[in-house]
Amino acid sequence: MDRRNFLKTSAAALAALPVLGRTSPPAGTVAARSQVVVVKTADRRRGIEAALKELRFSPPRDRNVFLKPNFNSADPAPGSTHNDTLAGLVKELRSRGARGITLGERSGPPETLRVMQEKGIFDMGREMDFDVVNFEDIAPEDWIPMSPPGHHWGEGFSVARPVVEAEYIALTCCLKTHQYGGVFTMALKLAVGLTPKSLMRRLHASPDMRKMIAEINQVFEPQLIVLDGVQAFTDGGPMTGKRVQADVILAGTDRVAVDAVGLAVLKELGANEAVMSRRIFEQEQIQRAVELGLGVSGPDRIELRGTDRLSRLYAGKLKTILARG
């Protein structure tokens, strides 16, 4: 029985599975190099098209795609995913043969339905032919309990069934700091929106919050990540903050690599003390993700590629920041 059918037909087995993604690498293992494409642009749609043309990744041909945005709230980007970013990514997935696309999200603290309505997501779904799932509306049995080895979640956590059963996962994140303990909100932290809102008090009250964020990521593995850094928060966040024009789109397949490069962008912009005072691979989200084998082990394993002269110059600057930490 293949993994997807197993998940669909055995709820008991789902509850017992400790982890569905990668496991920790053997001691001494060095992760392979990971490509992150850099596009210096203020045009989100053009940037996504250029980035995915350059990126080496598995296309979604003949597969159903689960698409996870950042709809923490309906605030303007980078408070939430810009609709142009979403439309551009949907278009690119379709052009690469996606059979179907389902957007799934759970907002917080605002009600998810209200956030999606304010952003016009249901209308966009009808216009662009993708489905929308509000995780606040799914049945209790569609929250799959998880308890990975060595986690910091106490009795464990749950993840929405649509992501557990997904054939292909695409993430699109923003570029911003997080003033409530997360330090930064990019690819790794998108995973929080795949868990029930009832777990948020436990997450935010824990001194291990950053490690817990990384640990959710063990139970799924994305095939594509697009980070919209046209605007960024260098302080505050996740809903509102100090907004700056960064004019960059990043694309990759490795959450650790994408977040590391995103942190390099924040350092280049001059972010808050929580970002500037700590080396990139010493941030707890990154550290824990590396321990769990979720991505590259250090900056020397990241291959930065620019799509044009300006982008290559900027990628070179980010490479220096990554090396310095």
Measured CA to CA in angstroms, residue 252 lies from 14, 95, 107, 154 at distances of 29, 18, 24, 32
Domain 38-324 top-level CATH class: alpha beta
Determine the Cα–Cα distance for residues 13 and 255; give it in Å rounded to an integer: 27
Helix or strand run (H / E) with residue 40: strand 34-40
Furthest-apart CA pair in the chain: how many Å? 54
Does the pTM surpass 0.85? The reply is yes
Contact present, 205 and 262 (Cβ < 8 Å): no
The domain spans of the chain are 38-324
pLDDT, tens digit only, all 325 positions of the chain: 333 433 333 333 343 443 444 433 433 344 578 999 999 999 999 999 999 999 999 999 999 999 999 999 999 999 999 999 999 999 999 999 999 999 999 999 999 999 999 999 999 999 999 999 999 999 999 999 999 999 999 999 999 999 999 999 999 999 999 999 999 999 999 999 999 999 999 999 999 999 999 999 999 999 999 999 999 999 999 999 999 999 999 999 999 999 999 999 999 999 999 999 999 999 999 999 999 999 999 999 999 999 999 999 999 999 999 999 8
Contact present, 31 and 295 (Cβ < 8 Å): yes
